[in-house]
Amino acid sequence: MLTHGDNQPDIDMVESVREVIFRTDDTLHLIFLNQAWGKLSGYAVQRCLGKPLIDYFHPDERERAGQLLHDVLHGFSNDAEFEFRLRTRGGEIRWVEVTCRAVGGADGAAAGLAGTIDDISVRKVAELTLRNLNQELEARVRLRTAELEASNRELEAFSYSVSHDLRSPLRAIDGFARIVEQELEGRIEPNVRTYLERIRKATERMAELIDALIQLATLTRQPLRKETFDLSELARQIIDQLTAEEPERKVEFEITQGLVVTADRGLMHVMLENLLRNAWKFTARQPKARIVFRAERTAGRRVFCVEDNGAGFDMEHAGNLFRPFHRLHAPEDFPGTGIGLATVQRIVQRHEGTIRAESRPGDGARFLFSLGN
């Protein structure tokens, strides 16, 4: 046992440190403690000397502590660090970190343990609090996931209901309009024929809206299947399709080659087709229509751009551009469902990207999008 008769500078240094410094004999009974022990445990140092170290740990920890310290003492473990709960004289429970090693005697056998005991209660409480918060967060995520799955099932059922329950009456209305038209062939008044045509066009329009709504709902819940492919080639295929639909139109196309991405090919096809079909539609009245698909670097990120010289729009109304059923042009000028750009935004967001538009009336439009990392 160190006493004040030993080297005074060493004693002063030992007593000045914040951590508890301890020494045991070969039976794990305490034979030295510095004064930091009293501050940590509330026990007087002299009263603790000669008593087993493990007696000061929490009763639930003593068996484990005894085994671990025994293993260090007898060379089954090298220098070791352990975390235990310590019960103070006042009954308070503190978390401590014990760092120790075996000390050899004159005969080479283990004479005891020497080490430090550090109060880590603040850190441990923070760790336990964080763990509890993480567990609570995980529970909330599981609950939210279950709610989302239930919502998706409801949405799927709703989509089926919309598809079946609304389409059937529409088909009936369209069918009866056809029958009336056929039954009155040659005897139908011009105004009646106009009414029947309006009925049939309205049913076609409603069917298109239903299809667009179902597609929008489906895109938000289907899993992403990412692969690496050439987006430029996909754009070329879509343009070939548009050209085949209206071969009489003369449109100049400019596509930057080799724009390779890693994304969901199916969703990218839907997104790019909507953007290019928009450009195709809004350049219909241009004598020299031009559509561009390219990419540029902005703030270290690759940004794709679909650009046209078509009708354009007023940026004052751009806030409604990606909202379902919000149109910036009259249906008689440029027909459509009003769902296309909402679909585009959903797909971009699912790829952790962003999309924005730039335009002026009569000066075309630019749609710029990124696809996350």
Residues 177 and 194: their CA atoms lie apart, in Å, by: 11
**Distance of alpha carbon 327 from alpha carbon 336, whole angstroms:** 9
* pLDDT of 1: 44
Please tell me the predicted confidence (pLDDT) of residue 257: 94
The answer to whether 110 touches 26, Cβ cutoff 8 Å, is yes
* Cα distance between residue 93 and residue 85, in whole Å: 6
Q: What is the mean pLDDT of each run of 10 residues along the chain (373 residues)?
A: 48 76 95 94 95 94 92 80 92 93 80 93 91 93 85 70 73 85 81 85 78 70 86 94 90 93 91 91 87 89 91 73 63 59 88 88 87 79
- H helices then E strands: how many in the chain? 10, 12
Quick one: DSSP state of residue 310?
Answer: S
> Distance between CA atoms of 269 and 251, rounded to whole angstroms?
21
At which residue do the structure tokens 């301890």 appear?
Answer: 22
Strand-strand pairing, 289-298 and 251-255: parallel
Q: Residue 15 belongs to what H/E stretch?
A: helix 8-16
Tokens 């990419």 found at: 295
The reported pLDDT for the residue numbered 160 is: 67
DSSP, collapsed to helix, strand or coil, labels residue 20 as strand
Other beta carbons within 10 angstroms of residue 242's beta carbon come to 18
Helix (H) or strand (E) holding 133: helix 121-161
Axis crossing angle, helix 190-219 with helix 265-282, rounded to the nearest 10: 140
Type of residue found at 311: A
DSSP 314-364: -GGGGGGTTSTT--SS-TTTS---S-HHHHHHHHHHHTT--EEEEE-TTS-
Amino acid 63: pLDDT: 94
* DSSP-assigned letter for residue 26: T
CA 27: distance to chain centroid? 55
Q: Count CA atoms closer than 13 A to 215's CA, side-chain side.
A: 21
pTM of the predicted model over 0.75: no
Half-sphere exposure of residue 22, counting CA atoms within 13 Å on the CB side?
A: 31
What pLDDT score does 357 carry? 87
pLDDT of the residue at 189: 82
- What one-letter code names the amino acid at 201? K
Residue 314 dihedral angles phi and psi, to the nearest 5°: -85, 125
pLDDT of residue 316: 74
Q: How far apart are alpha carbons 341 and 7 in whole angstroms? A: 83
**Cβ contact 55:69 at 8 Å:** no
pLDDT of residue 342: 85
Q: CA 213 to CA 210: how far, in whole Å?
A: 5
